[in-house]
Structure 1
């Protein structure tokens, strides 16, 4: 088992949507924990990374190279209806704010009673409103919506846990460096996340770090697009 970290910096206000709102306040609330800290679920992040990797593999030359990296993607993220032999090699943890910050604030909430969950959430987020505009420039009646956003320039970290150093897909041995390389280019490609990512919100920068806190994104991404004829 080995540990890596995906570090995400919010370059714009972002909504980690949870699919509901707060009656009388906002139409779209952000996902947050019991202490008011917004976070992005690991399952959602894994899906976004998988989508980016699939898009990158699709533009590789058809043939051995593309086939190889499709197998690498299956090894990393698993495949629909996975069996024990085709399960994902990686566990993607929730993307959270720094642990020491969360622990310090949790102490103030639960031990000192100096802060509340609502105060923490309000300190890290703000509420935005938008409405549709008709052709004559007037607001479209009934289209006003409000949503909470996580403020830009915050740094999030998700733990990436590899259960094994190698994987076997369709009698092909997939090595760890190949899986890490795919994750590295997927991280570089992931530029938007959260609700409203197709409307300018959720602009992010992602980097891959090893367990000694070294940025290995550029180094690992160089392996992507090559092919190794290794089979068992």
Structure 2
């Protein structure tokens, strides 16, 4: 097994939506764990990367190249109804805030919870809600009537957003080591690298100004693959 790291820097406020809201507070809540840390599900991230790679392959003008790289994408991300032989070679973990930060704060929250269990009158100095509020804010918007440029009735909506500049990381796992002398393995890594560079928008509202991100891919020795020009140039070249 080999591991790569996908690092995501938020360049704008972003909503990792979970599909529901909180009554009386927000219409659209962000996905977050029990400690209040927002995160992006690995399954969602895989879908976003797969979509970017499919878009890149689709614009290739040479039919032979396009078929070759589509086959690479199918090996990398799998295809619907995959069997053991055709399932995805890559597995993506949830994109989370840096682990050292989460572990330190989680330890403090666990300590506060333990004190509360021992003394029902104890008032915690830190709670998961405090963590969530410190990393997010609430944005409100309304529809505008085209006839008079006034706010449309009953159109006010609120959504929680993760504040810009926060870093997230996802672990990308391959079942077997990718070999440098294997064209198939290097093609998968090249496609993953350009798909990472192409991923610029994530989350809910990504087509309306939110979710602008910068993504980079690193190997297990912390070498940035997305800066390696050899992988970029490899795309579009078929042996």
TM-score by length of 1: 0.93
Residue 154 of structure 2: SS of its match in structure 1? coil
Q: Is the 8 A contact 2:178 2:186 kept in 1?
A: no
**What corresponds to 1:150 in structure 2?**
162
Shift of 1:213: 1.4
Aligned residues: 223
**Once the 2 structures are TM-superposed, how far is the Cα of residue 111 of structure 1 from its aligned partner?**
1.4
Larger Rg: 2
Residue 79 of structure 1: aligned partner: 79
Q: Give the drift of 1:175.
A: 1.8
Alignment of 1:128 onto 2:121: no
- Indicate the SS of the match to 1:34: coil
Task: Kindly indicate whether residue 227 of structure 2 is the aligned counterpart of residue 226 of structure 1.
Answer: no
Report what 1:178 is aligned to.
187
When structure 1 is superposed on structure 2, of 56-65 and 179-188 the one drifting more is 56-65
Q: Deviations over 1:34-60 (max 9, x none)?
A: 100000000000000000000000011
Cα deviation code 1:96-154 (max 9, x no counterpart): 00000000000110114542100000000000000001121100001000000000000
Are 2:147 and 1:138 equivalent residues in the alignment? no
Q: Which residue of 2 aligns with 1:118?
A: 129
Conserved in 2, the CA contact under 8 Å of 1:7 and 1:156?
yes
Decide which structure has greater helix share.
2
The counterpart of 2:205, out of the listed 189, 196, 201, is 196
Q: Aligned-residue CA RMSD in angstroms? A: 1.4
Once the two structures are superposed, the pairs formed by residues 63-74 of structure 1 within 5 Å of their partners are 63-74=63-74
Closer/same/farther in 2, CA of residues 211 and 176 from structure 1, 3 Å limit: same
Equivalent position of 2:121 in the other structure: none
Q: CA deviation at 1:215?
A: 1.0
Specify the alignment match of 1:170 in structure 2: none
Q: State the distance in 1 between where 2:64 and 2:177 align.
A: 23
SS at match of 2:234: coil
3-state SS, counterpart of residue 21 of structure 2: coil
Contact 1:128 1:149 (C-alpha < 8 Å) held by counterparts: yes
Unmatched 5+ stretches in structure 2: 113-123
Give how far 1:76 is off. Answer: 0.4
> How big is the shift at 1:61?
2.1
Cα distance in 2 for partners of 1:221, 1:41 equals 27
- Residue pair 2:2, 2:178 contacting (<8 A) in 1 also: no
Moved over 2 A (4+): 164-167
Q: CA deviation at 1:63?
A: 2.1
Unaligned runs of 5+ in 1: 168-172
- The residue that corresponds to 1:212 in the other structure is 221
